[in-house]
Structure 1
Amino acid sequence: MSFPAYLDACCLVPINLTDVLLRLAETQTYRPLWSERVLNEVERNLPRVSSMTPERARRRVRVMRTQFRDALVTDYESLVPSMTNEQKDRHVLAAAVRGGAAVLVTANTKDFPYEATAPYDIGVVTPDEFLLDQLDLHPEQTLRCLKELVADRRRPPEDLFSFLPKLSKTVPDFCAAVHRRVGE
């Protein structure tokens, strides 16, 4: 079984970051986890922060549900009151606990202090840290995913070096590490 990682909504809204994360999950370097509440948040926020229409946002989330059927964590709501992290994100930690996540991937690490996650043996990492770990542990799969991602982009066509600056808005250290590995 792959390494279980709970993906917070903030990791699933930026399209480039999401593409990388989900392509890696398809190679089974890790198993993504999320809740219906997180997916609803993604669907609600995509049109607000991008040019994506509500219909395209619904379709994107529907594809995520279909492609990663075992990612959905359910029956975590009873754990929410016992969580001690930031109140608005207690549902995230509760779902990560119920799903058996080894790590919670979020840009909002301050909302998940060590004291709140340590009892459940869940690490909290940024998307940058998570992808750097993936690159270190699975360099071939990670680089292949990136190359396939840019090869699939046709409007406009891209290569790795035109894509990395866009991705670096969310994961700058990872992009720098990829750039060092593949050279120019």
Structure 2
Amino acid sequence: MHRKGVSPDESEKRTLNLNNAFPDALVTHYETLIDHLELPDEKDRHVLAAAIKTNAHVIVSNNIKDFPEDVLDRYGLKIKTPDDFLTDIIDLNTEIAVEAFKEMVLNKKNPELDEYEVLDCLRKNGLKDTADYLHALL
């Protein structure tokens, strides 16, 4: 977040809010695996270690090139971009996905945006397929 101009205080606040909202997403005791893993970018090994520790099936990242398929195959993992992952989630139940999207829009307050403005925000943030899919379902 620091690279995107978010202050350290705001970054800490957002992290705390996410951790409180999704406590099951916190992974612990994966650190011992890190030194035994090889990836093109050593700074990504913690992601692979956490995925292995939790028996995940998918790593969600835009950083596709640093997670080679042959390495992920050894651990039964695949990698998907956030856009691909979200379109897959929508596919699971389009009706619930649209309801959730509409609820998210209603709860968006600062600033208030309509559905199409939120879809534009998604597109601008790399979620073009997700936004296009939701748009088609509205």
TM-score if structure 1 supplies the norm length?
A: 0.69
- C-alpha separation between the residues in 1 aligned to 2:132 and 2:22? 29
State the partner residue of 1:109. 64
In structure 1, stretches of 5+ residues that fail to align are 1-45
Which of 106, 130, 136 aligns to 1:174? It is: 130
When the two chains are superposed, the root-mean-square deviation of aligned CA atoms in Å is 1.4
Alignment partner of 1:82: what SS?
Answer: coil
Q: Secondary structure at the residue paired with 1:167?
A: helix
The structural deviation recorded for 1:47 is 4.0
Q: For the Cα contact (< 8 Å) 2:122–2:131, is it kept in 1?
A: yes
Aligned position for 1:134: 89
Contact 2:98 2:137 in 1 (8 A): no
- Return the alpha-carbon distance in structure 1 between the equivalents of residues 103 and 66 of structure 2: 34
Q: Which has the larger radius of gyration?
A: 2
Aligned AA for 1:179? Answer: H
Higher strand content, 1 or 2: 1
Q: Deviations over 1:116-151 (max 9, x none)?
A: 110110110000100010010121222222111111
Query: 2:61 and 2:114 mapped to 1: Cα distance?
Result: 27
Match for 1:77 among 31, 35, 57?
A: 31
1:55 counterpart residue number: 9
Bigger mean CA offset, 159-168 vs 66-75: 66-75
Equivalent of residue 145 in structure 1, options 91, 100, 104: 100
Report the identity percentage: 36
Relative contact order, higher structure (CA 8 A, sep 6+) = 1
Contact kept? 2:83, 2:130, Cα under 8 Å: yes
The corresponding residue for 2:115 is 160
How far apart are 1:95 and its partner, in Å? 0.9
Give the paired residue count.
136
CA distance in structure 2 between the aligned counterparts of 1:102 and 1:140, rounded to whole angstroms: 25
